[in-house]
Structure 1
């Protein structure tokens, strides 16, 4: 089979011929048909992510495909079942072996491409807003990076949860996309005084921030007393430093959130959340947005789209069927 291989941290992945994987007990062999790209793929390739796979490794955190075989003595979805998998690595190859506990059977309403980009983006936003921030109907939710892979899902989910959603993104095209996803108000991220713009809209109760940097600082100062700020990621490259005195006087809570971390201590929360989201998708309440579906050989282009923050929604790599 062919797969993209990271052999040296900080160096580009190489498309290589690799041995066919063989599933062990508790594993399923999956024919991979699509892999969703995430900013974490860039960090992992540089050795800067919280998870550091041993070299060499196949990147690709989330994927979708069809079960080809089960390992010896393993019960799981039978061969031919369409599944999504949160793998952590291994998605950018034609086949892979994954624990059967990581397989999520797919409804017919989701294509492989949509399913490959579904889990991390929607799962992050749903669990962060519902479980961690306890977002309530009628509250005001600010989403930074609102046209990106996770930001756009936060707009959708916040709208579905009954919040008033303020979306912050760069440029009219991205703001229009956020508005179509359910944003009630939009603010260009290049606005010279984001704090004042947010205060003019009445302030915010919950901040969803996958960006970090100066936007977090402005949002912090526009958050209402007893507000909650979700630190989702730092796509800007700058990790905010939070003044504890401001947290104290305004009774604010800053909440760190890493979706993949729940696999280690509460995987049932992830699965329950994804099951709920699949129900929402089947009912037409949410619709995955793929801005770029690229051929298998164009992985470098997909990663450049993430690096430059040029993509809206998800970037997904299409992987051709194998005999």
Structure 2
């Protein structure tokens, strides 16, 4: 079978051949139909992600496909089941052996590209807004990086939870995508004085920060007393510098959220969240936005789209 492999940090993946794996006890063999790409794939490639796999490794953190077989004595979705999974790494292969207990059946109405785009982006936003920040109907939510893979789901889920959503993204095209997902107030990243623009909003209750740096610091200043600042990622390159005395004076909470970490210390929380999200999808309540769908042999081009910030929502790799 074909796999994409990274041999050296900082270098792109190359296409290689290997034998099709056989599932061990507790595993399922999945024919991979689609793989969702994430900004974290770029960070992992460059050795800047919190998880540093041993080299060489196969990239790809989330996937969707069809169960082909189960390992000896393994209980799990029956062969033929359509499933999605978060695997952390290794998804960019034609077949993957994954822990059977990580596979979630997907709705009949869900195409594989939507399923592959689903776990990390929607899971991150739902846990952050619901489990961590306890976002309430009528509150104001400011999303930084609102047209990206994770930020766009925060807009959509925040609107579904009854919040007034303010989207910050670069350019009219990306802001239009955020508006279609449920944002009602739009702010361009290139606004000359973002801090003043955020303060002019009259206060927000929750900030969802995927960018970090000076933009995150500017958004922090817009929080109302007892506001919650969610630090999700640092696509801008650096974390925001947060002064503890500002948190004290304004009674503000800063909350970190690494969705993948829940698999290690609270997998039941992660699983319940994903099942809720899949139920919302099945009921027509969520609409994943896949701006680019590329075939398996174009993984380097797909990663370039992410690196150049040319995508909105998700970039997905399909089997053919």
TM-score class normalised by the smaller sequence? over 0.9
Instruction: Give the distance between the partners of 2:11 and 2:193, measured in 1 at CA.
Output: 38
Aligned pairs for 1:33-112 (under 5 A) are 33-112=33-112
Name the residue aligned to 2:185: 185
Name the residue aligned to 1:305: 305
Which ranges of structure 2 fall in alignment gaps of 5 or more residues?
A: none
Name the residue aligned to 1:285: 285
Instruction: Give the distance between the partners of 2:224 and 2:75, measured in 1 at CA.
Output: 50
Please state how far the C-alpha of 1:53 moved relative to its aligned partner: 1.4
Q: Does 1:203 align with 2:235?
A: no
Name the residue aligned to 1:161: 161
Range 279-288 or range 115-124, more displaced: 279-288
Instruction: Give the distance between the partners of 1:11 and 1:131, measured in 2 at CA.
Output: 37
Name the residue aligned to 2:276: 276
* CA deviation profile, 1:27-53 (whole Å, cap 9, x unmatched): 000000100000110111111111111
* CA deviation profile, 1:220-267 (whole Å, cap 9, x unmatched): 111111111000000111111111111111111111100000000101
Please state how far the C-alpha of 1:193 moved relative to its aligned partner: 1.4
Please state how far the C-alpha of 1:282 moved relative to its aligned partner: 1.3
Secondary structure of the equivalent of 1:187? strand
Please state how far the C-alpha of 1:214 moved relative to its aligned partner: 1.2
Instruction: Give the distance between the partners of 1:166 and 1:195, measured in 2 at CA.
Output: 14
How well do the aligned residues superpose, as a CA RMSD in angstroms? Answer: 0.8
Asked whether the equivalents of residues 6 and 45 of structure 2 are also in contact (C-alpha less than 8 Å), the reply is yes
Q: Does 1:113 align with 2:82?
A: no
TM-score by length of 1: 0.98
TM-score by length of 2: 0.99
* CA deviation profile, 1:135-186 (whole Å, cap 9, x unmatched): 1111100000000001110000000000010000011111111111101101
Which ranges of structure 1 fall in alignment gaps of 5 or more residues?
A: none
Runs of 4+ in 1 over 2 A off after TM superposition: none
Name the residue aligned to 1:222: 222
Instruction: Give the distance between the partners of 2:8 and 2:191, measured in 1 at CA.
Output: 40
Instruction: Give the distance between the partners of 1:302 and 1:106, measured in 2 at CA.
Output: 25
Instruction: Give the distance between the partners of 1:193 and 1:133, measured in 2 at CA.
Output: 27
Name the residue aligned to 1:13: 13
Aligned pairs for 1:21-32 (under 5 A) are 21-32=21-32
Report how many aligned residue pairs link the two structures.
320
Secondary structure of the equivalent of 2:221? helix
Name the residue aligned to 2:127: 127
Asked whether the equivalents of residues 213 and 241 of structure 2 are also in contact (C-alpha less than 8 Å), the reply is no
* CA deviation profile, 1:267-319 (whole Å, cap 9, x unmatched): 11111111111111111111000000001111111111111111100000011
* CA deviation profile, 1:165-218 (whole Å, cap 9, x unmatched): 000001111111111110110100111112221222211110001111111011
Instruction: Give the distance between the partners of 2:300 and 2:224, measured in 1 at CA.
Output: 42
Secondary structure of the equivalent of 2:78? coil
Aligned pairs for 1:242-281 (under 5 A) are 242-281=242-281
Instruction: Give the distance between the partners of 1:67 and 1:253, measured in 2 at CA.
Output: 43
Asked whether the equivalents of residues 2 and 15 of structure 2 are also in contact (C-alpha less than 8 Å), the reply is yes
Name the residue aligned to 2:171: 171
Name the residue aligned to 2:148: 148
Instruction: Give the distance between the partners of 2:182 and 2:161, measured in 1 at CA.
Output: 11
Instruction: Give the distance between the partners of 2:220 and 2:85, measured in 1 at CA.
Output: 35
